[in-house]
Amino acid sequence: MNLRRQILRALVLPLALSYGAFSHASETFPSKPVKLVVPFPPGGITDVVARLVAPLAAERLGQPVVVENRAGAGGVLGTTQVSQAEPDGYTMMLGTISVLAIRPALTKVPYDASGSFDRLTLATRAPNVLVVHPDVPARTVPELVDFMKKNPGAMTFANSGTGSSDHLTTELFWQKTGVKGVHVPFQGSGPATINLLGGHTQASFRGLPDVVEHIKSGKLRLLSTETDARIEEFADAPTLAEAGVSGAEVYSWQGFVAPKGLPANVHKILNEALVHALNDARVKEGLKNRGIQAVPSTGPEFAAYQQSEIDRWKAVVKAGNITVDQ
């Protein structure tokens, strides 16, 4: 064997062995536990959904699905770590509208919201609602808009942090109605809701799971839903479109992603396991009890939906000249 051939063999053989090992691993996937990253602290709604889905997905995969919380920087830390993980199927993440659409539309993040991930399936969506403290005189959306026009800058809107979905949803509402209030950001949904309940702020766009019991108890007044159709549980509440504000439908959604570059068969196995779990009656019931709907999909369907959301929120950010300092 001449020297040239020896050099080529030395270069090519390790690559061939590596490819063969990777190919074999993907053919036998999964052969060990799969990690499901939640980029938020334990106890939040994303964590709850992940822990509902994980055992049912594990049944289908034949391997444990281990939920791991990697909180930090509003979900950016864990999302970045997942974007940099090996695309072998053993790491996936339950992402949200915040980290996969809104945050990237608002500011530069260390990952490409669409290009860094393989989208496995859309998972859930929850309706957002417009609620006010009972002391607010407005009992309908038109009355609220009229009050804000007559009292510019007087109405305070609680949100769960600058760049959050409820922050930009409020901006969208202001842009659609031509009114302007005052943003009052808090560190998370819980503090925002608590301050609204205490009357320290007057209005807010909240995810229905956050406020459903407070609406039922009369501690908050429901003015409208941001949904395509009325919510069965609150059939008397009009949608924003019915209240005269079109194009402002907003859902808080979640979806499963994995690092970009999954082998096709691994993508298929994960999608099927997750869709199986999301379609399970036990998961559906657990989600429904929290005001959440399971909406499993194909990977391409999720990718198209996510991109439409990124484009939408980029337009809202641009029109409102919004920065993370607001």
Task: Tell me the per-residue pLDDT of 95-115, one tens digit each, with 9 for 90 and over.
Answer: 999 999 998 988 899 999 999
Let me know if 4 is exposed, middle or buried by CB neighbors in 10 A (0-12, 13-18, 19+): exposed
The reply to whether 291 falls in a domain is yes
pTM of the predicted protein model = 0.84
Collapsing DSSP to helix, strand or coil, 259 comes out as strand
pLDDT surpassing 60 at residue 325: no
Q: Residues 216, 256: one domain?
A: no
Residues 100/113, Cβ–Cβ less than 8 Å? yes
At position 222, the amino acid (one-letter code) is L
Query: In the predicted model, what is the mean pLDDT of residues 66-77?
Result: 92
Per-residue model confidence (pLDDT) at position 68: 97
In whole angstroms, give the CA distance from residue 99 to residue 105.
Answer: 10
The reply to whether 245 falls in a domain is no
The reply to whether 326 falls in a domain is no
Using a pLDDT cut of 70, give the percent of the chain over it: 91
Tokens matching residue 98? 């915040």
> Which stretch of DSSP H or E encloses residue 207?
strand 203-207
Domain assignment of residue 35, given as a range: 7-125+252-320
CA dist 93 → 67, 108, 254 (Å):
9, 20, 10
pLDDT surpassing 50 at residue 315: yes
At position 65, the amino acid (one-letter code) is V
pLDDT surpassing 80 at residue 21: no
Domain boundary among 234, 269, 302: 234
Q: Residues 18, 112: one domain?
A: yes
Number of domains in the chain: 2
Poorest-pLDDT segment among 260-264, 288-292, 303-307:
288-292
Per-residue model confidence (pLDDT) at position 4: 52
Domain boundary among 234, 265, 297: 234
pLDDT surpassing 70 at residue 188: yes
The reply to whether 15 falls in a domain is yes
Tokens matching residue 263? 């082998």
Tokens matching residue 22? 């990777």
Residue 2: CB atoms within 10 A of its CB come to 7
Per-residue model confidence (pLDDT) at position 6: 53
Per-residue model confidence (pLDDT) at position 323: 77
The reply to whether 239 falls in a domain is no
Q: Residues 121, 136: one domain?
A: no
The runs of H, that is alpha helices, within 39-153 are: 45-61, 76-83, 97, 103-106, 141-150
pLDDT surpassing 50 at residue 7: no
Q: Residues 103, 50: one domain?
A: yes
